[in-house]
Amino acid sequence: MVVDQHSETEIDRLFQAFSDATRRDIVRRVTVGEYSVSGLAALYAMSFAAVQKHVAVLERASLVTKEKRGREQIVRGNHDGLQKARQLLDEYEAIWRQRVDRIADILAEK
């Protein structure tokens, strides 16, 4: 495998971030509206610190942004990460379509 190390670990982080139900829920929530970290923490049956870590994972994956406002940290959705993930999966879908086309061509030759 000779792949760009930087972007590959970025993609690792992106899908890793999506692979947890709590984090996916956070992403949905903060895309619709604003939440402070403690506001999010109130929603789940886990400690504030645990939610804080989830938000940190999402931020590193560009799925969420944080902005300090007074004593609160406001969490909002970040479209960048989602767009990158979707683009990635579109590439895999394109490989499937090429394969289907290739098989169709072979059948047509007969």
Determine which helix (DSSP H) or strand (DSSP E) holds 9, and give its type and residue range. Answer: helix 5-18
Q: How far is the CB of 30 from DNA (least distance, A)?
A: 12
- 19 binds DNA, rule: CB under 7 A: yes
- 72 binds DNA, rule: CB under 7 A: yes
**What is the residue-wise DSSP string for 14-45?**
HHHHHT-HHHHHHHHHHHHS-EEHHHHHTTSS
Contacts of 6 (CB under 8 A, 6+ apart): none
Q: What sign does the CA torsion over 78, 9, 54, 92 have? A: positive
Contacted entry of a copy of itself, DNA, none for residue 49, CB cut-off 5 to 8 Å set by kind: DNA
- 103 binds DNA, rule: CB under 7 A: no
Contacted entry of DNA, a copy of itself, none for residue 97, CB cut-off 5 to 8 Å set by kind: none
- 3 binds a copy of itself, rule: CB under 8 A: yes
What is the per-residue binding string for a copy of itself in 45-74, x denoting contact by CB under 8 A?
------------------------------
